[in-house]
Structures are given as C-alpha cells and as structure tokens.
Amino acid sequence: MRSTLAHSLPAPSGCVRPPAPTPGASLAGARRGDGQGVRPEGLRRLPKLAEVRCRRVTIPLRHPAVWSGGTRGGIPLLLVEVEDTDGATGTGEAAGPSIPLIEAALAQEFADLLRGTEIDAWRQTLNDLRAYSCHWPRVGNHAIAGLEMALLDLTARRAGIPAAHLVGAPRAPRIRFSGYLFIDGPDANAAQARAYVAQGFDELKIKVGRDLDLDVRRLRAIRAAVGPAVGLKVDANMGWDPPLARRAMQALGRFDLLYVEQPVHDENLAGLRELRAACGIPIAVDESVRTLGDALRLIEARACDIFVVYTPEAGGLFEAGHIARVAAQAGIACCLGTWGESGLGMAASTAFLGGQPNFPFANDTHYPLLEGDIVTQPFRFVRGHAEADLGTSGWGVALDPAAVARFGTNARRERVFTDISGEA
C-alpha cells in the first residue's frame, strides 16, 4: 500500500526508525520475560510495526478564534502514519496545545518502543506507552491518541473493513454538532448565530470569560437572534474565579442555558460543587475531566452534571469510551469536545460517537470554521448533522497530497494559550 506521507510529500518533519527489539518478540512479551511474545517456529509471523512518520500541518481558520485563554488563527495538527513490515500503512492525526511537544513524544520518546511490535498486539503496545509516559501523561496521551487512530486505520485496512466497526459504530453515523461561536462583538455573534440556525444547527456553544459585561450583551443579542427554541451553552475555560463565576452564572443564566462549562479552575472541585448547588444551572467540565481518573474524582466529589470528553486528552478513542461508560453509570451525560480536527479527525470522531449511547448533547467541532481540509472529500453538514461515509476500509477518507503540502508549509506557530503567535 502506497504511503501518502512518504511518497507525496517532501521531507517529513519527523521520521521514526528505532532500533529493532529481539526478533519475534512483542513489546509485552519482551517486558514480561515470560516467552508469550515469541511465536512458535513454523507459524507465519504476523506483520510488525516498521516505521512511524510525522508531519505537521496547520489549517487556517476563516476568522481568528478568541477565547478566554488566547487567540487562535488556525488548527495545528500532527499527521501520524504507521507502516508495517508488509508495506501496509494507516494514518491518524494528533491534536493538542503544543504540536512540537507531541511530535517529540512520538519521534524521540516512543521511538525505540514501537518498531518490531506486532500489529495485532497494538492495544498492549499503547498500554505500555501509557506506562512509559506516566510522568508526562498529558503530552503522552495526545501522542498516543494520534498513534491509536493510525493503528486502527492500518488494522481495518488490512482486514478490509471500516475502522468505525472497530470502535463500535455498526453503520454510517449521522452525528449532531453545535454551531461554535468564539468571542466577538454582540452584532457579529448574533449574525453568526442566525447563520448557524439557518443551516439547521439547534445548539450553539459560546465562548465567554474575558469580559462579563460584554458576555451579557453578546448572550442577549444571540438569544434575541435565534429565539427560545435553540439550545445555548457557554464555556468559560476556567476564566472566572469562584466569586466572579457565581455572578457570571447569575447574569448569564437568564438566557436559558443548557449548561455552563468549566467556570473555574480545573482542580477546584469544591468550587464546582458549590456553584452547582448555588446557581441552579447544570455544570459541565472539560479541563477537569481529561482522564478516567479525573472522571472518578469528579463523580466522587459530585462536582458536575456533564463531561465534555476530549479523545486526545483521554489518550484515544477507547480511553474516551471508558470515561463515557463510567459517566453513564453515575448519571452524568457526555458531549465530545474538540481541539480542532481535519476531515480525518472528523471521520474518527463521528465513528466513535456512532457507537456511544451517552452523548445526548450536540457535540463540539471547529470544522465548519476551517478555510480548507487535507482530505479529498470534505465532510458535509446537513441540518446540523455530520453525515459520515464509512467507506470500505480504514477511516473511509483519503488525504489530498497537495493540500497536506500546502498546509504543511504554514510557518505560523499556534500557541493556543496566548494571544501571541510565533514561528514554528
């Protein structure tokens, strides 16, 4: 199978060719020392991971995205391609706050643990990488999520089935998403809201948290523009301290909100619990619920009503699924969050959601805000829903080499948590 990243692009920014471990041994077996990773003589050896390639791309946004923590001009991503010893390939993407750090985790830290591992043991390999990155789990999880997506693509392509089947989606999913409004003037946000509703979006997610007076004027204009039937959700991204959060929730609550997302710092579980009890508006968390351990602590603290789950922060689709199942047992609903994604990431997200029963809210995406895409057939939204085509194998999408090359030459460094961008 021809490698898109290797053959259609000049000089990828990272190429992993680590030293091979003991021939015939899986990473798990080699670590245990119990011989279970060694295949008996005479049996056909299954393919092993031979190479991992990385390529940075940044897809510009149509307008700067202003939120409580910074300003974004584009969506930075790391394309991750794996190749096995038979030459078959699979592709994923990693998203997150610092693409250079995620790339370093893959190319410099995980490198010598990847080559020679058996493709059919990829779940164990990812678990080993989680253990290896236990002292820097946040960066490690973002890298593992991109690697998992690529390995799922490879596994499904080898089997000749859609990757969606591997994550529990039995048929082509039709997934509901929110219109996404970043911080702007009241009139501009109202016009954007009207446009989303005209396209059939029935929930809007609105960034807040820089200026409460401005946020009140923005919410008033948005609610007047869309009427009472459209669901509104606001996200402060930890932009308030507890006293300001209480005032803000009282001021914004008059606009009939579905929930307020991450009003205070991610570690302030007591503050979240107090706001939940005092303000009468459902509390959602995203920065507070990166991992399964976070989810368990939030449930124990009774600190929230909704988990906004990010698959990169969780460490991949399967780990995000664990969070969703635990949430369901605790009576907590989920919504899928986003760092931004290309059509490749949309394919994986919609497949994941197609197999999940506990995501009643419209999910987050920046996809309609992008200037372009790196896949040959961009996603379409119909009445606020993304309609996925599973394809015959893998994630069902193909990279556009010219678009990857074009967005791969974007030198702008998106730092995400600041209003200042610099060079890569």
Q: What is the pLDDT of residues 325-382, one digit of tens each?
A: 999 999 999 999 999 999 999 999 999 999 999 999 999 999 999 999 999 999 999 9
Tell me: pLDDT of 69 over 80: yes
For the chain, the C-alpha Rg in angstroms (whole number) is: 22
pLDDT tens per residue across span 125-162:
999 999 999 999 999 999 999 999 999 999 999 999 99
- The secondary structure of residue 254, as a DSSP letter, is G
- 4-166 against 169-395: fold identical: no
Q: What are phi and psi of 90, to 5 degrees?
A: -145, 150
Q: What are phi and psi of 11, to 5 degrees?
A: 35, 80
Report the predicted TM-score, pTM, of the whole model to 2 decimal places. 0.88
Which range has the worst mean pLDDT, 21-35, 245-259, 295-309, 396-410? 21-35
The CATH code of the domain at 169-395 is 3.20.20.120
pLDDT of residue 420: 57
Amino acid at site 394:
G
pLDDT tens per residue across span 4-53:
554 433 333 444 434 433 333 333 333 333 333 444 444 456 799 999 99
- Contact status, residue 59 vs residue 75, Cβ threshold 8 Å: yes
Q: What is the rounded distance in angstroms from the CA atom of residue 301 to the CA atom of residue 272?
A: 9
Instruction: For residue 55, give both structure tokens.
Output: 């390529």
* 91 three-state secondary structure: strand
pLDDT of residue 418: 62
Per-domain boundaries in the chain: 4-166, 169-395
Tell me: pLDDT of 421 over 60: no
**What is the DSSP pairing of strand 333-336 with strand 380-382?**
unpaired
pLDDT of residue 36: 39
What is the average pLDDT across 300-317?
Answer: 98
Q: What is the rounded distance in angstroms from the CA atom of residue 77 to the CA atom of residue 1?
A: 24
Three state DSSP letters for 199-219: CCCCEEEEECCCCHHHHHHHH
Which of these, 333, 289, 335, lies nearest to 315 by C-alpha position?
289
Amino acid at site 256:
D
CA angle, 400 then 406 then 410, to 5°? 135
Q: Domain spanning 4-166: which CATH class is it, in words?
A: alpha beta
Residue with tokens 């290896």: 132
pLDDT of residue 188: 98
pLDDT of residue 412: 57
The separation between CA 298 and the C-alpha centre of its own chain, rounded to angstroms, equals 21
Q: What is the rounded distance in angstroms from the CA atom of residue 298 to the CA atom of residue 310?
A: 16
